[in-house]
Chain A
């Protein structure tokens, strides 16, 4: 190697004034550098050039204080944004409405969003705006928590295992007698979720309905936008970080929210988580990274570079069987990110979940950031959310199967994801085996029965799926 280098170096003309020895030394050094650049550097330079410099490099991204904002925090703290030439400021937002409005009006360039938000905005339920997502942020990560009083009442209806602990998953059927008792006393049974089009709303509704409890219909055509028409359990909106305080105040008897706000209820001794969303729908898609369609059109390189940085952050979070999660917890507990105590965040992030105080169970996939293709924006995931919007009346009339497919493809930009991932593979920053086989991937997951009620979901047949639900609107029905 060194002799090759020297002969390589000897081809260069020598300088005039420097002493021969010093000159040789300097030249050898320069050539080593040049050789290294030739061997390894060009690949990097060329792959980076594939995308080109970001059109907009000063960005403000919004997030809600939840552990699943982790890819953003990690991409910032580990310098992945800076590696892409992006100068990103992360800013906590008050609630999901503020997040969405911020992105629409351009106060934020992009944000941590609920999977349902870009979809609902695109079809015009709530605020109408074209929002796209090139990156799905995580799987799972939510749970349903009830107050201590409700838990005591529910507990009588639960089977206990050999270890004396309740058998999981807990069906909402155990909650049904409690709700009926409240109704008999003329008391409404209030529960909270975080946003009308949040994954939590659909998961909570799915769980309640699977247990025989009606969560109520939306009927925007007739002014019913609270989603409480013919409801047995009245659901309302509360921002995630305020969930524990609202439960403590007695305004609600339970809620569905992301972490750390379920574990905090346990930690504060004010409530008991009863079921995780992974048990309601195994490996369900949770948050997405959303930007406006206009942003992606105007700043294509910036969008791809953001996606690249986020993919790398997600890889870091799941690398070596969650080995980095302890460090992630430390970062997330900083007041400017999630800000809760490290021991509260640690539980779910490192794969344990505490239900009733002392009832700690191992839930290794409570938060999935990268494995199982968690970050790939599957069209079938978008279609599932659309089916639930139809099921609960947020979509007022029947739509053909083709509409579901078209809408999903408009919002979930798997093409952008594939481009970003391929450039990472080309640079050697990721392996092709980490991703779906892009050449053959249809964007639809195979049909699955991994729901709490075992009903099969096939993304290609949304209308048939909607009709297979015992509670909820079916073809031709209006709320």
Chain B
């Protein structure tokens, strides 16, 4: 027994020592892929991861980044902050270009570490809402939207539905949210709007992972809000819809954030979820997009796709794919400055993300016609675009049910600024100078 335990410890020590030996730096652009394919959030994490990886494979199949091949490695985080940090520490040493944690909790943890390690973070549609301010957060890129823009667009849509902001006065809006940094993030923006338009905001937290919601929906039934905003993730979304069905709350009055409006959330409930609306951060389910057809032809036809064929074009798959595309385009933009056909360092890639200029022509050429609107970032604005639409589940698929909205910067900018200043003061970091932007 003694020998066995000695042998076990020896193997453990040897393997750990071996791992700390530096990996050879290949002439490839390395993308770490933080995923969660297990645990309570897996149903939503898996299609996102598949979309992300599929796009990377697609880029390689089309010749890479101006000739530079992409290499990637998946790391399982299980939506847990400590595992996310551990993945980060392990993969950053391999020349990671950019991290996309797909978890607001992990984003908060990495926001502190990334500047020290000089690796950019893309948090497209999640993360800290105040990181839009690129002058305060040099290394964070909440491309395409944050929870504050999402909340803002939802209120705009509801006002439009009611016939004007003045009609919102006296209405009751309930927020059923995941009790975590993710779920709490929109509260500040919603409270601001609530003050402006005098509607009643009822906050109903659901303890993670959000499977038990009976009491929450009994409260919804008793207070009879005019609208329910759903800010859930993973299993919480379908549980919410099932409880809504069970308490008879009309699904047409429910509006989910873009992380609560995808197939895994509704397919279990099926026809009973008909009428449920959700935000679409520019894209929705896009089975007819050119890029989808390209990927099916290039990868899935040759059995090289990650994940099943039926998933390609679904909402979360598209989200992952677009996140991947933004990362790739950012690196390509960096190559325009630092050398086409060369491997970009994370700092160079950061410049690329800060100077993204994807106009409609470029997006169409990439295959995103009708799916995306132009994205252009700058030193002060790390978000690049805040377009969103509403899509509705008709019992079998998602279909767009509104025009394009853009978040109201006049309301959000002061909030962002205040929050960013608070962060800088707490961390004793100086705001960036305009000169720094040119570097």
Are A and B bound to each other? no
